[in-house]
Amino acid sequence: GAVVSQHPSWVICKSGTSVKIECRSLDFQATTMFWYRQFPKQSLMLMATSNEGSKATYEQGVEKDKFLINHASLTLSTLTVTSAHPEDSSFYICSARGRSRGTEAFFGQGTRLTVV
Amino acid sequence: QKEVEQDPGPLSVPEGAIVSLNCTYSNSAFQYFMWYRQYSRKGPELLMYTYSSGNKEDGRFTAQVDKSSKYISLFIRDSQPSDSATYLCALSTGTASKLTFGTGTRLQVTL
């Protein structure tokens, strides 16, 4: 399958600081990137969808000014959690879909964010 | 009613057993059906991908889709301890549409 690399795997930050998470598609062009959040023992919650050349579309209840998404190129998307608070601590996962890959979505390894 | 229903488990089976994992859904517009496996603290890994109704087999895994019943299944034959993970079904209405996930079923295969 296709490879999606997410970095970092984990990060601990102080409350009030911002954290950037990168998601790269290594062997295909990602026309669409998805960002999810997952709480322990729960399923994936879609936060936002980012299509090539467009601004991200956020799901209801997700603050776009807090979770900044940049789809900088066809192989890179970033999620920045601004002014992080302990309640933002979670597992964040990106996924990418490309024209050459049909409707299959490939996931990154996830980033465990802990805000202290 | 959730769009996709999946029993969270946990489901515990002995090594070598046949495992049946299922999801039901309510939106008849779903056309694409996927199964992902997720190990603890890792991102989901695509196992099976099916378009419309029918069966698809890949090694020990078989995916079934019954659109008339709005019911999808994943069968794992000769289950191994390494199959212990959470299995998520994911459905989509189109190639440009988002995936809607089930809650995931936690599977434990014991020796």
For B93, how many CA atoms within 13 A lie in the half-sphere containing its CB?
Answer: 9
**CA distances to A3, A97, B78 from B83, in Å:** 21, 26, 10
Cβ within 8 Å, pair B101-A44: yes
Number of alpha helices (DSSP H) and beta strands (DSSP E) in chain A: 0, 11
Q: Rounded CA gap, A56 and A72, in Å?
A: 11
Q: What is the pLDDT of residue A72?
A: 80
The total number of residues shown for chain A amounts to: 116
- Name which of A103, A56, A24, A116 is nearest B99 in CA terms: A103
Interface contact flag, A104 B46, Cβ < 8 Å: yes
The terminus-to-terminus CA distance of chain B in angstroms comes to: 37
Q: pLDDT digit of tens for each residue in chain A (116 aa)?
A: 668 999 999 999 999 999 999 999 998 888 889 999 998 878 889 999 998 778 899 999 999 999 999 988 889 999 999 999 999 999 999 999 887 656 678 899 999 999 99
Decide if A108 touches B, using CB distance below 8 A: yes
Low-confidence ranges of chain B (pLDDT < 70): 96
A84: DSSP letter: -
Q: Is B3 on the interface with A (CB under 8 A)?
A: no
* Per-residue DSSP letter, A66: T
**pLDDT given for residue A1 in this prediction:** 62
- Smallest Cβ distance to A6: which of B43, B95, B103? B43
Alpha helical stretches, state H, chain A: none
Dihedral angle sign, alpha carbons of residues B9, B10, B13, B18: positive
List the beta bridge partners of residue B76. Answer: B19, B61
Q: Is A49 on the interface with B (CB under 8 A)?
A: yes
Whether A98 and chain B come into contact, CB under 8 Å, resolves to no
Query: What per-residue confidence (pLDDT) applies to A103?
Result: 62
Gyration radius of chain A over CA positions:
13
* Helix/strand/coil percent split, chain B, to 5: 5, 55, 45
Closest chain A residue to the Cα of B86, Cα to Cα: A41
Please report residues of B whose CB lies closer than 8 A to that of A106. Answer: 46
Which pLDDT belongs to residue A43? 83
Structure confidence at residue A92 (pLDDT) = 96
Of residues A42, A93, A102, nearest to B43 (C-beta): A93
- Return the structure tokens found at B64: 């079934």
Mention every residue, 6+ apart, whose C-beta is less than 8 A from residue B55: B62, B63, B64, B65
Best CA proximity match to A71, nearest among A36, A41, A35:
A35
Q: What is the per-residue pLDDT for B90?
A: 93
For chains A and B, CB pairs below 8 A equal 56
Nearest Cα residue to B61 out of B50, B72, B77, B46: B77
B111: contact with A, CB 8 A cutoff: no
